[in-house]
Amino acid sequence: MNKIYEEFFKIGIVPVVALKDASDAEPLAKALRDGGLPCAEVTFRTEAAQDAIRSMTEKFPDMLIGAGTVLTRGQVDAAVLAGAEFIVSPGFNPKVVSYCLEKEIPVIPGCSSPSDIEAAIELGLDVVKFFPAEASGGIEAIRAMSAPYRKIKFMPTGGIHAGNIKRYLHVPNVLACGGSWMVKSERIKHKDWDGITSLTKEAVFAMLGFTIRHVGIHCENEAEALDAGGRFAELIGAEKNVLNSSVVSGTYMKWVKCPGRGARGHIAVGTDSVERAVYQLTKRGFGFDLSSGVYDTCGCLKSIYFAEEIAGFAIHLIQNECREGV
């Protein structure tokens, strides 16, 4: 897969931006970056688009900036000249798509029907924009089209918001989602950059879906684990379940029979995407023990330990069981 598409997957949410004033581009890009989404699709709905893209790419070269609502080859040229790294169009225009392929710039055309998808496949594409997502049938439509077109990845855009983003990202053939709820025009108009950063952070945490899955407490031996597990289960009115390496009280508490990883024990943090969580947390300064990574049969990371302990507890991420079948 193209490296830019791999980056889309890790980021998960692509903010779709419309700017009337190019001077807003730099503070908006910073707000998105600080909030955890170092990416933007700047739409050619306004005359400020080219200058906005140029400003973002020059000030924040580490961000992934592209052009959206691209309808003509001239707009492709303008976007590329400004530094755009990818092109997004609302529909499937074979002339625009072919032109992008000739210029070797990733292009994601809008497709909402099997005919559109087959036209994209004919030109060698494997990622398309599903637009307008909600109006075109939403998740069920994507799942239906994913059955015959299993190698196609979708970027749903249109009607995506904080309330449905997780359900879209749980669909295996969804690469990432485009959304504008964190960059509404009113917030940009009033230069509410702190508000945009806050909404962006909320979007990221909603996408990651962090939960405490269990806490493992080290015991000196099996007898102590059996006693502690039994007493705690009785305390909370839960069942005691004896496993090979631990005794489980209820759902979250594990009493480990022999000391293992972590001076005092370990804490398992569930997430809807271990890979996206690693990406986000690495950018925030957290380190990981790469040798501890466990992968599923598809090569996807499903668990990994942090490099450092917290108060003597080893922390590891584990994949929530949330992805839908197709």
Residues labelled catalytic: 41, 129
Query: φ, ψ for residue 268 (rounded to 5)?
Result: -100, 125
| Helical ranges in the chain per DSSP H | 3-11, 25-35, 49-59, 73-82, 94-102, 114-122, 138-146, 165-169, 185-189, 193-208, 222-236, 274-283
Judged by DSSP in three states, 144 sits in helix
129: nearest Cα among 80, 168, 78, 84: 168
Separation of alpha carbons 42 and 84, rounded Å: 9
Residue 166 CB: number of other CB atoms within 10 A? Answer: 15
